[in-house]
Each structure stands twice: as C-alpha cells, then as structure tokens.
C-alpha cells in the first residue's frame, strides 16, 4: 500500500502523489486534493466502499505548449487493502 508517485519532467515540473487510506470515521469514499510546492497530493479515502473511484473531471496541472495540461485517474482496490491499481492519463486541452 505504498504511495504512487508520478513526476512529470516537462515544464511545468509537477509531482503527483496518490495516497490510499482507510478511515473508519468516514461513512463513504472520498477524494481530497492539495497542491503544494509543485506537488499535487491526492488522498483517496475508503475506496473499498465503491467498485472504483476516480476524478469525475480531469484536474488542471498548468500549461504545456500553450495548452492546459490535465490529469485524470481511476483507482481499483484489491483484497482488504493489500493492493490497488491506478489507471491514469495526461491530457492536453485544445485551444478554444
């Protein structure tokens, strides 16, 4: 159950850290984000309460080549917090 860390080496230099935690005080699954010092921290709480959990809309990371750089992910739990799988994508938004 280690954190997943993705470092985007292009400008903007951004690190994405996904942490999965069980919190019995919460009644449902939840995703919380925090951008601090070029690191996007994504805390995923209680993913076992849903079949899969992810971002309903892509998260904006900044600009790349004049286009918005977006990040989207989906997380699936396996077992009783033994492991998880993350599917993710970086997207470039076309100029409007």
User: Can you give the pLDDT at residue 96?
Assistant: 56
User: Can you give the pLDDT at residue 62?
Assistant: 83
User: 31 - beta bridge partners?
Assistant: 44
Which position has the token pair 């805390």? 43
Total residue count of the chain as it appears in this document: 96
pLDDT tens-digit profile of 34-92?
988 889 999 999 988 887 889 889 998 888 888 888 999 999 988 788 888 999 999 99
SS3 13: coil
pLDDT tens-digit profile of 14-37?
899 999 999 989 999 999 999 888
Distance between CA atoms of residues 91 and 67, nearest Å: 10
């Amino acid at each position: 159950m280690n954190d997943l860390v993705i470092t985007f080496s292009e400008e903007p230099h951004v690190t994405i850290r996904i942490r999965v935690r069980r919190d019995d005080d919460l009644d449902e699954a939840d995703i919380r984000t925090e951008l601090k010092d070029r690191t996007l921290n994504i805390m995923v709480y209680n993913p076992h309460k849903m079949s899969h959990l992810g971002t309903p809309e892509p998260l904006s990371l900044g600009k790349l080549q004049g286009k918005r750089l977006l990040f989207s992910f989906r997380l699936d739990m396996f077992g009783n917090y033994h492991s998880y799988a993350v599917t993710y994508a970086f997207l470039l938004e076309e100029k409007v």
